[in-house]
Amino acid sequence: MYFRVIPFHRYVQVEAKGSEGEVTFPTWLPGSYIIREMERNIVSIDGIRISKNKFWVREKFSYKVYTLSWDQREAVSTGDYMFLNGPAVFPFQNLNEEYCVELDLPEGWKVHTTLRKEGERTFCAENYHELADSSIQASPDLREYRIDELHKISTIDSLDDEFLNRLRLVISKEDEVFRSVDPSLTSKEYIFYFRFSTNPRGGIEHSNSSAITSAWTSDATSMIEVFAHEYFHRLNVKYLKPKDLKVNYVEETYTELLWFAEGVTDYMAYKLSWASGGISLQEFLKRIAESLQKLTFHGGAMSLAESSMTTWIKYYRRDENYLNSSISYYDGGLILGLILDLSLFRKGLKIEDQFRKIPREYTLHDLQEAFSDSEVDLEVSRKPSMEMLKILGEFMNVNMPDVGKPYIGMSLDGDVISFVEDGSPADRAGMCPKDKVISVNGKPPDVITKEVEKGKEIRITMSREGRLEEIKLEVGKSPGHAVKISSKDISEKWAGKSFTFEIPSRVI
């Protein structure tokens, strides 16, 4: 198929050429496990609708797409900037035919893409999979920051030398792992498409590029963490991948192994960032402690396999009850990656050296074989995730210092309840997320922590859907959600020094 793209403010017009017949717009984007319904952005099309995302078209047809998603997984077009992620804009017919994109851009615009250049402003992919695995970024203000000969950042924003120098260390360290698996992995140019945003940080991986956004307030460490994660996907997901993670662009694809594809990727990103000097040990320990904290809630009863399977309806649709019902395969997978690494380290081995043993398409059995030297039974991924707290305790001290302290079991975002823990005093008293606290024992809401610490009955006046209610509740004892980790013999040697790190609980 051939697409001529004409960008406008908030829209792109596409003049397409294919075969008379059916075209399909993807419902989801590989690497982001949620049904996005990309057809929702089609404003008009020269065709007859067959279903929600399929149209019957002639050989030549045109369509208009609304492009103002600041999500790096979709598409943006303004008067001076355009970013296109393939499946967000382009439909498909035969997945295995060539797909080309011609950009009708104003004079002076620059273009960055990993697609094959076929003309002044025409770029082609061998098939739809390659088109879907590629992005296009264009702007008259586009600039390029070289990390090294084969890696660059494409952006419309300014980046400082501290970040770039630290990122160079991380990319170099990750490339060492990639080359040990297959030297060809580092032979092609790689582009990081980046921009600052008012949205939280995020990214999506491609084989030879990734698209990343970061908040304006992000520091260099926060940015390195997401760059390192998306780049490690060049090996784990784009080269090695779960055998059952098949992509068809229309239906959900299920695997039990997102904990490895995403969670262990996160672990490797942090470990290699630390090992290279890109981040500090304390920054690495902070991420470990944050992940452990999630396992202390009721959602820790969910297995990593279940978490992986339910990503479409749980992780990507997180709500105020998530900690009661689910665990993130990112958090749980990171902890299992840490356990594997420490187990291997005890035997004089490294986790990064085991990836060369993993087949291109892997199953849980394949992973068990690849990490057999660790003597960790990966069936633990099918058991309650909270069991990993005990396993990790073999290698480092893991404590919850707030166990037994005064507690009512809820979190506040300002004066609004954001979370209520199942079975807690707040739950038993009838408190709900989104209730607005008006007063605590007749005092302003910000004194609630001090009032709870007194360990007595408290009286809360709150508003629920605009109705005032008064609730009394008995202060209980915390099950423990603050996390303190410290080194034992093995983990001290692994870290190169003794360590202690503690994070408080946000649950009152």
* Tens-digit pLDDT profile for residues 53-67: 999 999 999 999 999
Nearest to 315 by CA among 409, 360, 233, 252: 252
The pLDDT score that the predictor gives to residue 119 is 86
Give 415's contacts (C-beta < 8 A, 6+ positions apart).
436, 437, 438, 445, 446
Residue 72 has pLDDT above 90, yes or no: no
- CATH number, residue 428: 2.30.42.10
Q: How many CA atoms, within 13 angstroms, populate the side-chain half-sphere of residue 133?
A: 18
- Alpha carbon distance 374, 3 (integer Å): 50
Tell me how many helices (H) and strands (E) the chain has. Answer: 15, 31
How far apart are the C-alpha atoms of 152 and 231, rounded to whole Å? 12
Instruction: Evaluate if residue 199 carries a pLDDT over 90.
Output: no
Q: What is the mean pLDDT of residues 25-43?
A: 92
456 pLDDT band, cuts 50/70/90, is confident
Does 165 score more than 90 pLDDT?
Answer: yes
Q: Could you tell me which of 378, 386, 72, 427 has the C-alpha nearest to residue 214? A: 72
Question: Does 347 share its domain with 468?
Answer: no
Amino acid identity at 383: K
Say if residue 415 is in the same domain as residue 317.
no
- Distance (Å, whole) CA 254 – CA 189: 31
The reply to whether 265 and 308 lie within a common domain is yes
Residue matched to tokens 């990750």: 174
Of 177, 207, 239, which residue constitutes the final position of a domain? 239
CATH number of the domain that residue 305 is part of: 1.10.390
Residue found under tokens 């007194």? 454
Quick check: helix, strand or coil at residue 473? strand
Cβ atoms < 10 Å from Cβ of 469: 13
Based on the domain organization, do 328 and 443 belong to the same domain?
Answer: no
pLDDT for 297 beyond 90: yes
Residue burial 396-428, b: 16+ Cβ < 10 Å; e: rest? bebebebeebbbbbbbbeebebebbbeebbbbe
Q: 324 and 233 in one domain? A: no
Does the pLDDT value for residue 16 go beyond 90? yes
Asked if the model's pLDDT at residue 31 lies above 90, the reply is no
Taking Cα atoms as reference points, which of 77, 102, 74, 100 lies closest to residue 88?
74
**What is the per-residue pLDDT for 238?**
96
pLDDT of 76 higher than 90: yes
Structure tokens at 101: 């994109």
Predicted local confidence at residue 379, as pLDDT: 97
Tell me the CATH number at 38. Answer: 2.60.40.3650
Task: Give dist(CA 243, CA 241) in Å, integer.
Answer: 6
Q: Which whole number is the average pLDDT over 109-126?
A: 96
Count of structural domains within the chain:
4
| Token pair recorded at residue 76 | 């943006």
| pLDDT value at residue 263 | 98
Residue 457 pLDDT: 92
Domain C-terminal end among 188, 204, 239:
239
The maximal CA–CA distance of the chain, rounded, in angstroms, is 75
Same domain? For 153 and 228 the reply is yes
Place of tokens 């090695």: 240
Confidence (pLDDT) at 59: 98
**Residue at which a domain ends, from 119, 141, 163:** 141
In this predicted model, what pLDDT tens digit does every residue of 310-348 receive, in sequence order? 999 999 999 999 999 999 999 999 999 999 999 999 999
Give the span between the Cα atoms of 453 and 430, in whole angstroms.
20
User: 434 and 355 in one domain?
Assistant: no
pLDDT class of 200 with cuts at 50, 70, 90: confident
Q: Is 319 helix (H, G, I), strand (E, B) or coil?
A: coil
Write down the pTM of the prediction: 0.95
Query: What one-letter code names the amino acid at 507?
Result: V
| Residue 106 in this model has a pLDDT that exceeds 90 | yes
Task: Give the model's confidence band at 201: pLDDT under 50 very low, under 70 low, under 90 confident, else very high.
Answer: confident
pLDDT tens-digit series, residues 247-287: 889 999 999 999 999 999 999 999 999 999 999 999 999 99
Dihedral over alpha carbons 21, 16, 69, 28 (to 10 degrees): 30
297 shares its domain with 364: yes
Specify the 3-state DSSP secondary structure of 167.
helix
Given a cut of 90, whether residue 496 has pLDDT beyond it is yes
| Whether residues 439 and 456 fall in one domain | yes
With the C-alpha atoms ordered 379, 382, 387, 389, is the resulting torsion angle positive or negative? Answer: positive
Q: What residues are paired with 238 via a beta bridge?
A: none
Give the residue numbers spanning the domain of 43.
Answer: 2-141
- 310 sits in the region (left: phi over 0; alpha: psi -120 to 50; else beta) called alpha
Which pLDDT tens digit goes with each residue over 205-232?
A: 999 999 999 999 999 999 999 999 999 9
- Say if residue 285 is in the same domain as residue 326: yes
Percentage of the chain exceeding pLDDT 70? 100
Say if residue 255 is in the same domain as residue 334. yes
- Say which CATH number the domain at 231 has: 3.30.2010.30
Question: Which pLDDT score is estimated for 243?
Answer: 97
Closest to 192 measured CA to CA, from 108, 106, 114, 282:
114
For residues 201 and 196, what is the distance between their CA atoms, to the nearest angstrom?
A: 9
Burial category of 106 from C-beta neighbours within 10 Å (exposed 0-12, middle 13-18, buried 19 and up): exposed
The residue-averaged pLDDT of 365-394 equals 96
380 and 497 housed in the same domain: yes
- The pairing of beta strand 406-407 with beta strand 500-503: unpaired
* pLDDT over 90, % of the chain: 95
Rounded CA separation 354/370 (Å): 6
- Residue 443, number of CB atoms within 10 A of its CB: 11
Distance CA(24)–CA(407), nearest Å, equals 53
Give me the mean pLDDT over the 37-52 stretch: 95
Mind listing the pLDDT tens digit for each residue in 1-15? 999 999 999 999 999
Q: Which residue has the tokens 């609980």?
A: 505
